[in-house]
Amino acid sequence: QVQLVESGGGLVQVGGSLRLSCAASGRTFSTYAMAWFRQAPGQERKLIAAINSDGGSTYNAAGRFTISRDNAKNMVYLQMNSLKPEDTAVYYCAAALSPASLLPPAYDYWGQGTQVTVSS
């Protein structure tokens, strides 16, 4: 089992940057694929970026965002650049051993989320 805790969200101006962090518990973290999703009010939860267990393969839905991980520290990161008002959402970290897809139901463990607000 994996417990996930996100941090790093906050209020940022348009064009600014943020780095979100996700701290994972458990000695088997390095066996999990990880992902970042976001959910804006009234909208479905959507994938932002995903990374495989050893960090050798990544998927980014937007070129402005970059996912990375440090298995030695049990951490996953999301670097967000050139932020726009439409990036305002709650951002979630998620984990799965072998996700069958990049959709939310494929992920087994979720953090509580961190709010990102981009002001214009």
Under DSSP, is residue 87 helix (H, G, I), strand (E, B) or coil?
helix
Predicted confidence at residue 98, as pLDDT, reads: 86
Q: Which residues of the chain have pLDDT under 50?
A: none
CA dist 8 and 29 (Å) reads 20
Predicted confidence at residue 85, as pLDDT, reads: 96
Predicted confidence at residue 26, as pLDDT, reads: 81
Give buried/exposed letters for 44-81 (b at 16+ CB in 10 A, else e): ebebbbbbebeeeeeebeeeebbbebeeeebbbbbebe
pLDDT digit string, tens, across residues 87-114: 999 999 999 998 888 899 999 999 999 9
Predicted confidence at residue 100, as pLDDT, reads: 83
Predicted confidence at residue 10, as pLDDT, reads: 97
